[in-house]
């Protein structure tokens, strides 16, 4: 007995059920007529940039380079930092400080000659009355635009004085350079120094007098290692409300017992220190006399 054939699904639309035939029929549709116009249409409608003639390319490159060179020689002015000034205001220094200030500076590795300390009289009104208060102004000038170094000196100074305010002020100088030189300078490629030492000194002095109470003269000096530093000379000023001589050294001298007029202004601690100093001196005298 023959096995029964599996029932085949009858398809009333057998021809169409064959997808491949339908697709093959569709594939035979030709479009040759439109292809003939394609080349012209593409050439006229595309937004592809047209190729530049090599002669024009060379001319354009030359003009471009010339324009850049001209632009580089145009002089421009800009502000350049030539150094920093550290300026701080502290309360009037006490007796203990006056005796030990040199030691304190050496302790934090600072040269006292580079720091200017002067007294300042600050007036303020309280209940209609004008009161004046003695303050100490500390100024240090660094002739090098190195902010990290300025920060370091600032922290060292804050270890010595009990500052009410302490700030770093940039000292700027107007410099005229060409665009090309400015670019080189910006990227630290310029070796030549175009600002002379005299110009720096003038700028520093101008800045010092404008931004501090100090009327002294700043001198630019170089140490053995070739590092530049600024020493500030103290100048005596007539008719000044505060004697600029009263820097630390001045105050120290004022504490000598010969200057009796100071006793009235002295605090209790200062008087105690003076008495101790007197006792020590007397003991030293006695000791010398015994030896003799």
Question: For binding to other proteins (CB under 8 A), which residues are involved?
Answer: 11-13, 16-17, 19-20, 22-23, 25-27, 29-32, 34-35, 37-48
Nearest approach in angstroms of CB 56 to other proteins is 21
**Cβ proximity to other proteins, 1 vs 13, nearer residue:** 13
Nearest approach in angstroms of CB 8 to other proteins is 16
Nearest approach in angstroms of CB 79 to other proteins is 49
Please give the Cα distance from 240 to 44 (Å, whole number).
Answer: 89
CB contact set of 56 (below 8 Å; sequence gap of 6+): none
**Cβ proximity to other proteins, 27 vs 192, nearer residue:** 27
| 269 within 8 A of 95, measured Cβ to Cβ | yes
Rg over alpha carbons for the chain, rounded to the nearest Å, is 43
Taking residue 178's Cβ as centre, other Cβ atoms within 10 Å add up to: 14
**Cβ proximity to other proteins, 44 vs 196, nearer residue:** 44
> Residue written as tokens 């050496």?
106
Nearest approach in angstroms of CB 54 to other proteins is 17
**Cβ proximity to other proteins, 3 vs 12, nearer residue:** 12
Please give the Cα distance from 120 to 238 (Å, whole number).
Answer: 15
**Cβ proximity to other proteins, 20 vs 130, nearer residue:** 20
Nearest approach in angstroms of CB 25 to other proteins is 7
Closest CA to 230 of 206, 204, 251: 204
């Amino acid at each position: 007995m023959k096995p029964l054939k599996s029932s085949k699904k009858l398809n009333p639309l057998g021809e169409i059920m064959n997808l491949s035939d339908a697709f093959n029929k569709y594939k035979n549709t030709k479009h040759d007529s439109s292809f003939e116009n394609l080349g012209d249409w593409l050439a006229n409608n595309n937004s592809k940039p047209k190729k530049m003639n090599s002669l024009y390319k060379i001319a354009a490159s030359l003009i471009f380079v010339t324009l850049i060179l001209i632009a580089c020689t145009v002089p421009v002015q800009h502000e350049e930092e030539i150094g920093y000034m550290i300026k701080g205001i502290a309360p009037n220094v006490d007796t203990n400080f006056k005796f030990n200030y040199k030691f304190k500076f050496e302790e934090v590795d600072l040269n006292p000659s580079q720091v200017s300390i002067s007294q300042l009289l600050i007036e303020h009104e309280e209940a209609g009355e004008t009161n004046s208060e003695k303050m100490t102004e500390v100024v240090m000038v660094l002739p090098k635009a190195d902010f990290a170094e300025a920060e370091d000196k600032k922290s060292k100074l804050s270890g010595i004085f009990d500052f009410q305010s302490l700030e770093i002020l940039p000292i700027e100088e107007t410099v005229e350079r060409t665009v090309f030189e400015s670019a080189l300078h910006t990227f630290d490629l310029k070796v030549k120094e175009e600002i002379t030492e005299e110009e720096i000194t003038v700028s520093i002095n101008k800045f010092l007098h404008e931004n501090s109470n100090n009327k002294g003269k700043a001198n630019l000096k170089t140490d053995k290692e070739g590092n530049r530093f600024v020493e500030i000379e103290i100048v005596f000023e007539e008719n000044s409300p505060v004697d600029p001589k009263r820097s630390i050294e001045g105050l120290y001298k004022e504490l000598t017992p010969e200057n009796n007029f100071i006793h009235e202004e002295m605090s209790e601690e200062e008087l105690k220190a003076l008495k101790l100093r007197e006792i020590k001196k007397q003991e030293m005298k006695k000791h010398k006399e015994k030896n003799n």
